[in-house]
Amino acid sequence: MVRVEPARLSDAAAIHDLVTYWADHGDMLHRPIAEIYEAIRDFKVARHEGRVVGTGSLHIMGSDLAEVRSLAVAADAQLHGVGAAIVAACVADARTFGLERVFALTYKPGFFEKQGFRVANVMEFPQKVWNECVRCPFFTNCKEVAVVQDLNGADLSVPMTRDA
């Protein structure tokens, strides 16, 4: 059984390997391992019999916005719902934090549309464009597509079962 759970520091190398593998294939951007250690609290891993078969992170970018980053599923674990489960875990976290929108920049907009995202104009996320994209070597020739999910402030409170 595959379980999606918060990453541990000991998962950083496996996360880095997955991201590097797909970045080398041109499917996503590289992330240095030092950055993965720094952001380890943002990361989820999908674990199967102790092995990390998928990863993804939720990076908070402001009072109402977070980004799903570094989503990667091992080649031999694809199309079994792992990517969808990691995105669902990130979106659930975003709701818990009270965020209003979750976005991603991706070469796979069709996958994100199946997870309830819609294609958006990247300029809806100026904090991403002007803080980070401008430093990216692909900025002037970016082929990534922006996708976003509006979370509509769902009520996550749990009613008490007895009188206070």
List interacting residues with ligand COA (CB under 6 A). 22, 27-28, 71-73, 78-84, 104, 106-108, 110-111, 114
Least Å from the CB of residue 87 to ligand COA: 8
Beta strand 118-120 pairing with 65-73: unpaired
Minimum gap (Å) between residue 84 Cβ and ligand COA: 3
Look at phi and psi of residue 9 and say left if phi exceeds 0, alpha if psi is from -120 to 50, else beta.
alpha
Instruction: Provide the 3-class DSSP secondary structure of residue 4.
Output: strand
Q: What is the DSSP string of 113-153?
A: HHTT-EEE-GGG-HHHHHHTGGGSTTGGG---EEEEEE-TT
Q: In the complex, what is the shortest distance from the CB of residue 126 to ligand COA, in angstroms, rounded to a whole number?
A: 20
Which residue, 76 or 155, has its beta carbon nearer to ligand COA? Answer: 76
Cβ-based nearer residue to ligand COA, 46 or 99: 46
- The minimum distance between CB 158 and ligand COA, in angstroms, equals 28
Nearer Cβ to ligand COA (137/159): 137
Q: Which residue is nearest to ligand COA (CB)?
A: 83
Report the distance separating Cα 84 and Cα 15, nearest Å.
Answer: 17
